[in-house]
């Protein structure tokens, strides 16, 4: 079966979630448009490229599909996962990767837009921010949950909510709270309890880490240098003796010689023989290598964390040899028997979400939606992920080779008249290579498929729940 036939089969699979048969054309058109070599993948340039003689009608059809049609973006992502996950090799372990990404915006009317930190720009600016959860393995990754972060200024403004079509059930929640909601929903649907990876924006939140443990999830999360821990072999004194009045004391006691320290202070005081050079994966030109140390600690900071003696966990420290002080810190609840190499490998698996965002934005038009409403924002994102998911599945099936490109889509499309310039796009669409880089380093893993894959999907028997393996 060639790529074109496989793509049609994929669209048929996705369309089973749309509710109405006439929405299949919108799905096919939108997914196809996102895979075309366009410099701008908003509705109008896609319509002009796919049907230049009837661009206005095509524009209306695509706009209605993404902004007005009542289909579930969440269930669409489940359909995408059903197609991709069976091709993901989890024999070396799977991961849930949590992160958020920003979309710079002008104006104040796009849903969720406000002045906030934008990772793309590296500073505070006017933007939207969305939280996602990706499922990852050694060879690939896929976003399986996606939700816009709604700032309090939006969540508490009934007029703005109504105009943007924000659902009534959506209330203000912090980014860590959104991520936890997404994980709970996935687990409720039968998703496996893989290790959770997140950066310091999530890792410094004690409630976030505690909730992960309460859900039975192990984690490796980034923290800042200011996080306070009890060093190895140093523990506080037991709580004061209960005198029979009020609540029994639970707060551990500190003395002049029994004090927690910041992870930075702890790292600077470690013996030289604690540090090891570790390689974690193949880079573009060479193996990625760094200097690491890992020690067992107990968290001690924060009003909640100080209330009682917390269990031991790993503190992983990354200190490049050419730097004056450590660069990164991680807390992990992986077993005490976990080797340093495995701690480092797991911590750095988070790079995959950065690759997801890069490919989705550069190749799949994730940030090109020009509408202002809640539904359109999430529908467009789910379509971008759907297009990305098809190519990811093709890559995984091919063993990490460069197969599964978008060339078959390009061959099917008519040429745009030279004198046609759609609104919001440049005079000529810049040629694009189209997701030609490997989704994962192939190495010796890329040429083979391991045992443990799920059998081929039976499309007529699937429901929109998460695929487990």
**DSSP notation for 174-216:** -HHHHHHHHHHHHHHTT---PEEEE-HHHHT-HHHHHHHHHTT
222 and 127 within one domain: no
364 and 344 within one domain: no
pLDDT tens for each residue of 156-169: 999 999 999 999 99
Entry field: residues in the chain: 469
Stretch 311-334: mean pLDDT: 95
Whether pLDDT at 432 is above 50: no
CA proximity to 195, closest of 172, 218, 173: 218
Q: Is residue 209 part of a domain?
A: yes
Judge whether 397 and 87 are in contact, CB under 8 Å.
yes
Whether pLDDT at 468 is above 60: no
Whether pLDDT at 197 is above 50: yes
361 and 297 within one domain: no
Cβ-based burial of 140 (10 A; exposed 0-12, middle 13-18, buried ≥19): buried
For residue 8, give the H/E element and its range. Answer: helix 3-15
Domains of the chain: total: 2
Whether pLDDT at 425 is above 60: no
Q: How confident is the model at residue 422 (pLDDT cuts 50, 70, 90)?
A: low
The rounded mean pLDDT for the chain is: 85
DSSP codes, 357-414:
HHHHHHTS-TT-----SHHHHHHHHHHHHHHHHHHHHHHHHTTSSS-S-SHHHHHHSP
- Radius of gyration (C-alpha) of the chain in whole angstroms: 24
Domain that holds residue 320: 201-234+257-349
Collapsed DSSP state (helix, strand, coil) of residue 342:
helix
Q: Which of 349, 371, 395 is the last residue of a domain?
A: 349
Judge whether 469 and 86 are in contact, CB under 8 Å.
yes
**pLDDT of res. 406:** 57
Cβ-based burial of 339 (10 A; exposed 0-12, middle 13-18, buried ≥19): exposed
Whether pLDDT at 132 is above 80: yes
- Other beta carbons less than 10 A from residue 409's beta carbon: 21
Q: Is residue 149 part of a domain?
A: yes
The residue that leads in pLDDT, 248 or 100, is: 100
Q: Is residue 466 part of a domain?
A: no
Angle between helices 73-84 and 374-397 (to 10 degrees): 0
Q: Which of 328, 349, 370 is the last residue of a domain?
A: 349
Q: Is residue 430 part of a domain?
A: yes
**pLDDT of res. 458:** 37
Judge whether 287 and 255 are in contact, CB under 8 Å.
no
402 and 360 within one domain: yes
Q: Is residue 8 part of a domain?
A: yes
Whether pLDDT at 455 is above 50: no
Q: How confident is the model at residue 48 (pLDDT cuts 50, 70, 90)?
A: very high
pLDDT tens for each residue of 3-42: 888 999 999 999 987 877 778 899 999 999 999 999 999 9
**pLDDT of res. 440:** 31
pLDDT tens for each residue of 369-380: 999 999 999 999
212 and 194 within one domain: no
The DSSP code for 112 is T
pLDDT tens for each residue of 225-269: 999 999 898 877 777 777 777 888 777 777 777 888 999 999 999
Q: Which of 322, 349, 376 is the last residue of a domain?
A: 349
């Amino acid at each position: 079966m060639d790529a074109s036939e496989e793509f049609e089969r994929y669209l048929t699979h996705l369309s089973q979630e749309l509710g109405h048969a006439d929405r299949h054309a919108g799905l096919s058109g939108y997914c196809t448009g996102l895979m075309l070599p366009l410099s701008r993948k908003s509705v109008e340039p896609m319509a002009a490229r796919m049907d230049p003689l009837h661009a206005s009608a095509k524009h209306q059809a695509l706009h209605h599909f993404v902004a007005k049609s009542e289909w579930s973006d969440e269930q669409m992502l489940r359909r995408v996962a059903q197609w991709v996950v069976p091709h993901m090799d989890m024999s070396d372990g799977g991961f849930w990767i949590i992160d958020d990404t920003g979309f710079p915006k002008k104006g104040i009317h796009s849903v969720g837009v406000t002045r906030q930190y934008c990772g793309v720009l590296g500073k505070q600016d006017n933007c939207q921010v969305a939280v996602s959860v990706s499922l990852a393995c050694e060879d690939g990754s896929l976003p399986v949950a996606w939700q816009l972060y709604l700032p309090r200024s939006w969540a508490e403004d009934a007029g703005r909510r109504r105009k943007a079509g924000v659902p009534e059930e959506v209330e203000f929640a912090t980014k860590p709270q959104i991520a936890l909601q997404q994980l709970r929903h996935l687990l409720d649907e039968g998703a496996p309890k893989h290790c959770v990876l997140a950066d310091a924006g999530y890792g410094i939140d004690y409630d976030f880490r505690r909730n992960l443990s309460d859900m039975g999830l192990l984690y490796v999360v980034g923290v800042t240098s200011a996080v306070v821990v009890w060093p190895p072999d140093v523990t506080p004194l037991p709580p004061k003796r209960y005198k029979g009045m009020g609540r029994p004391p639970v707060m551990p006691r500190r003395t002049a010689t029994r004090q927690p320290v910041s992870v930075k202070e702890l790292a600077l005081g470690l013996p030289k023989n604690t540090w090891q050079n570790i390689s974690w994966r193949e880079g573009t030109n060479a193996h990625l290598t760094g200097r690491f140390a890992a020690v067992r600690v107990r968290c001690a900071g924060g009003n909640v964390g100080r209330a009682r003696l917390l269990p031991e966990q790993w503190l992983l420290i990354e200190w490049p040899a050419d730097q004056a002080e450590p660069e990164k810190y991680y807390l992990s609840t992986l077993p005490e028997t976990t080797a340093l190499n495995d701690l480092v490998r797991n911590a750095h698996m988070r790079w995959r979400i950065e690759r997801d965002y890069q490919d989705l934005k550069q190749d799949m038009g994730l940030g090109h939606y020009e509408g202002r409403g809640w539904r359109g924002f999430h529908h467009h994102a789910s379509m971008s992920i759907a297009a990305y998911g098809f190519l990811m599945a093709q890559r995984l099936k091919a063993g990490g080779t460069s197969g599964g490109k978008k060339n078959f889509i390009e061959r099917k499309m008519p040429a745009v008249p030279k004198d046609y310039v759609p609104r919001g796009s440049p005079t000529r669409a810049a040629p694009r290579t189209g997701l030609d880089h490997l989704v994962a380093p192939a190495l010796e893993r890329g040429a083979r498929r391991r045992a443990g894959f799920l059998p081929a999907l039976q499309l007529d028997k699937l429901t929109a729940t998460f695929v487990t393996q």
